[in-house]
């Protein structure tokens, strides 16, 4: 019975992860590739070399932050039916196991003929970079926003090589979904994510906008986008951090810097901004940017009746 529950939980996790990734623009996902094991150090529970690794989801994209770079994302999906482990020690233990499994998979996937055939069909750039993403979700509706990233950040991992690993936990997944839903409501789907100049992309004619979120923005606590309303662009910045005077000032500064004078209207979203109580703080912060001509408005992307106060 426990095996059936585990299988069902895994199926739920893959469905949730796939739907979330589609929401952030990761279309054309490749599902459930069996990767032959070619490393004698990969040992199974019986002490023998593993025969294969299961690549749950693979996604390929050209990196908008770095010239001539194609990214191969190997996504391992884990799902807990009753919530994350209660203690930090248990969370860290499971996390290490999941990352070790993902590390071994990527070590073999780099040489997999099927992965290489997908890269050829995609038209990969000169530089190909493999990365690992652990999507670790759970199904306890009372703690869906739980953030375990501070806990797992303290874990000491034994990782060799230069492969980077990223984690999407339930809390970050919730943040991403709230941002996408808010953007969709404000634009009728007519929006693009904005890619700040944070990498090494030097081509003058490179487009700073796109329909998908690269991993650098997925793992960030700031997401930026451009919304087209009747042919007029508006710049949106979403902060995962809670609202206070200093954070508000910093986020407005980031938005002005990122938008680089390309728009006249800037909107900065927080999860907990209360327009009936916090508007005086925003007015005070705006004095720091009184020389700028852009219209700046702060809002909450957590929908409630308080949003009606802003009209």
Q: Which has the minimum average pLDDT: 3-7, 35-39, 227-231?
A: 3-7
Q: What is the pTM of this model?
A: 0.90
Q: Are residues 18 and 54 in the same domain?
A: yes
The verdict on 39 and 144 lying in the same domain is yes
227 or 3: whose pLDDT is higher?
227
Single residue among 138, 169, 200 that ends a domain in this structure: 169
Q: What is the pLDDT of residues 112-159, one digit of tens each?
A: 999 999 999 999 999 999 999 999 999 888 888 889 999 998 887 777
Question: Both 243 and 117 in a single domain?
Answer: no
Shared domain for 147 and 219, answered yes or no, is no
User: Tens of pLDDT along 153-196?
Assistant: 888 777 777 899 999 999 999 999 999 999 999 988 889 999 98
Number of domains in the chain: 2
Task: State percent of the chain over pLDDT 70.
Answer: 93
- Output 281 or 11, whichever has higher pLDDT: 281
Give a three-class secondary structure readout of the chain.
CHHHHHHHHHHHHHHHHHHHHHHCCCCCCEEEEEEECCCCCCECCCCCECCEEEEEEEEEEECCCCCCEEEEEEEEEEEECCCCCCCHHHHHHHHHHHHHHHHHHHHHHCCCHHHHHHHHHHCCCCEEEEEEEEEEEECCHHHCCCCCHHHHCCCCCCCCCCCCEEEEEHHHHHHHHHHHHHHHHHHCCCEEEECCCCCCCCCCCCCCEECCCCHHHHCCCEEEEEEEECCEEEEEEEECCCCCHHHHHHHHHHHHHHHCCCCCEEEEEECCCCHHHHHHHHHHHHHHHCCCCCEEEEEECCCCHHHHHHC
Q: How confident is the model at residue 67 (pLDDT cuts 50, 70, 90)?
A: confident
pLDDT for the residue 110: 94
Range of the domain at 140: 2-169
pLDDT at 200 over 60: no
pLDDT tens digit string along 252-267? 999 999 987 778 999 9
């Amino acid at each position: 019975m426990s095996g059936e529950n585990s299988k069902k939980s895994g199926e739920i996790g893959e469905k949730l992860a796939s739907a979330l990734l589609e929401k952030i623009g990761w279309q054309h996902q490749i599902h459930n590739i069996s990767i032959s094991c070619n490393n004698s150090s990969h040992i199974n529970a019986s002490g023998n070399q593993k025969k294969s690794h299961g690549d749950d989801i693979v996604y390929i994209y050209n990196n908008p932050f770095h010239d001539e770079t194609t990214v191969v994302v190997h996504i391992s999906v884990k799902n807990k039916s009753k919530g994350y482990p209660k203690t930090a020690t248990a969370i860290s233990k499971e996390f290490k196991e999941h990352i070790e499994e993902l590390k071994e998979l990527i070590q073999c996937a780099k040489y997999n003929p099927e992965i290489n055939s997908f890269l050829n069909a995609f038209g990969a750039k000169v530089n190909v970079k493999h990365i690992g993403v652990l999507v670790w979700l759970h199904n306890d509706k009372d703690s869906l926003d739980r953030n375990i990233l501070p806990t797992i950040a303290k874990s000491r991992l034994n990782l060799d090589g230069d492969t980077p690993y990223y984690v999407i936990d339930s809390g970050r997944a919730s943040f991403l979904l709230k941002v996408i839903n808010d953007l969709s409501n404000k634009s009728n789907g007519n929006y693009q994510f904005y890619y700040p100049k944070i990498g090494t992309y030097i081509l003058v004619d490179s487009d700073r906008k796109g329909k998908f979120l690269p991993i650098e923005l997925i793992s960030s606590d700031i997401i930026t986008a451009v919304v087209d309303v009747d042919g007029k662009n508006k710049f949106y910045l979403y902060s995962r951090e809670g609202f206070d005077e200093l954070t508000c000032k910093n986020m407005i500064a980031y938005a002005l810097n990122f938008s680089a004078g390309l728009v006249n209207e800037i909107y900065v979203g927080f999860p907990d901004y209360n327009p009936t109580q916090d508007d005086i703080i925003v007015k005070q912060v705006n004095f720091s940017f009184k020389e700028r001509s852009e219209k700046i408005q702060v809002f909450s992307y957590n929908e409630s009746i308080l949003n009606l106060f802003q009209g």
